[in-house]
Amino acid sequence: MQLKFLGTSAGRPTKTRNVTSVALCLPEPQCGFWLFDCGEGTQHRLLHSGLKLNKMERIFITHLHGDHLYGLPGLLSSRTYFEGAGPLQVFGPAGLKAYLECIFRYSGVHLGYELDVIEVTPGEISSDHRFVVEAAELEHRLPCYGYRIIERPQLGQLNLAALADMGIRPGPLYGKLKRGEAVTLEDGRTLTPADVVGPSLPGRIVTILGDTKPCDNAVTLAKDADLVVHEATFAGGMEEKAANYGHSTFRQAAEIALAAGAKRLVVTHFSSRFDDAAVQELVADARHIFANTEAAADFAEFPIKRPARE
């Protein structure tokens, strides 16, 4: 499980940074990815990332500003040409459905797959056997959401050596034990998962925030997260300017991570006024508040390690 950044610039692209987009690469058995925001040029970045559009399962849009959205219609259109592109869910604020319907109607686009556009409200917005996704509204100039991705705990590994010693060969019983079910053997013995399944694997929490001023919901979404992605458009000392535009400084992002008890912070969405050297200086300053702060960069990858077993 890892994050791969496709764009890290605020407002407009630069020669070294595209506008906002980040992919969450999922662990086995899915091996697909979810996309968070889709600024102009995102599909071009994907071409150089190793990620294929037919492996993209969901898209989450934080808000409808162009640097987070203008790449979406083109990307959705291009996905039609990828063999095996199945149904796709797109989540985002109210207005997203009308935006896409308008563009597709006037440009004559016909998608070759099922597209489900879901306009989110605060709370749980998606749940399956592997992940729960929650959303909360942030404080920006347009309605803007942050997303909290919660991986459910996973069952431990089967003790294959112990099963072999018992004379139990691979087959349906393995699947039942792995699912947490007790089984009855041919000799009448009952075998429980606790006998042959190792400790469960704790899930991970990833928080990806859209553009925002410091706010309580940012802390709530980032609570105890293994990794938080927070915008850092302005330098420390520019808090008044940041507030006027609905953004945060590097220091404020660090303060949110600290207040949330997060384990790791990756800042992104940098103003074009800051080159790479300036970003590193601002990160060094933010580390005085939250030591485990890192700067995103286009095509940078951040593995998300599973927390230690409890």
For residue 114, the model assigns a pLDDT of 95
Q: Which residue has the tokens 């989110």?
A: 120
* 35 or 189: which leads in pLDDT: 35
Q: What is the pLDDT of residues 268-298, one digit of tens each?
A: 999 999 999 999 999 999 999 999 999 999 9
Residue 298 is encoded by which pair of tokens? 């286009």
Q: Residue 253 in contact with residue 222, Cβ under 8 Å?
A: no
User: How big is the CA angle at 119 (ends 115 and 121), to the nearest 5 degrees?
Assistant: 145
User: By percentage, how much of the chain surpasses pLDDT 90?
Assistant: 78
Phi, psi of 76 (to 5 degrees): -65, -40
Q: What is the pLDDT of residues 54-109, one digit of tens each?
A: 999 999 999 999 999 999 999 999 999 998 889 999 999 999 999 999 999 999 99
* Residue 196 binned pLDDT confidence (cut-offs 50, 70, 90): confident
Strand order across the 115-119 sheet: 115-119, 88-92, 56-60, 33-36, 21-25, 2-7, 301-303
* 284 or 202: which leads in pLDDT: 284
For residue 164, the model assigns a pLDDT of 81
**pTM more than 0.85:** yes
Q: Residue 57 in contact with residue 23, Cβ under 8 Å?
A: no
Would you name the residues annotated as active-site residues?
67
Measured CA to CA, the distance from residue 231 to residue 239 in angstroms comes to 13
CATH-assigned architecture of domain 2-154+200-303: 4-Layer Sandwich (3.60)
For residue 174, the model assigns a pLDDT of 81
Please enumerate in sequence order all residues whose Cβ is within 8 A of that of 251, keeping only pairs 6 or more positions apart, or say none: 236, 239, 285, 286, 289
Sign of CA dihedral 254, 255, 257, 258: positive
The annotated binding site for Zn(2+) is made up of: 63, 65, 67-68, 140, 211, 269
pLDDT at 133 over 60: yes
Q: Where are the domains of the chain?
A: 2-154+200-303, 160-196
pLDDT (average), residues 105-127 = 95
pLDDT at 309 over 60: no
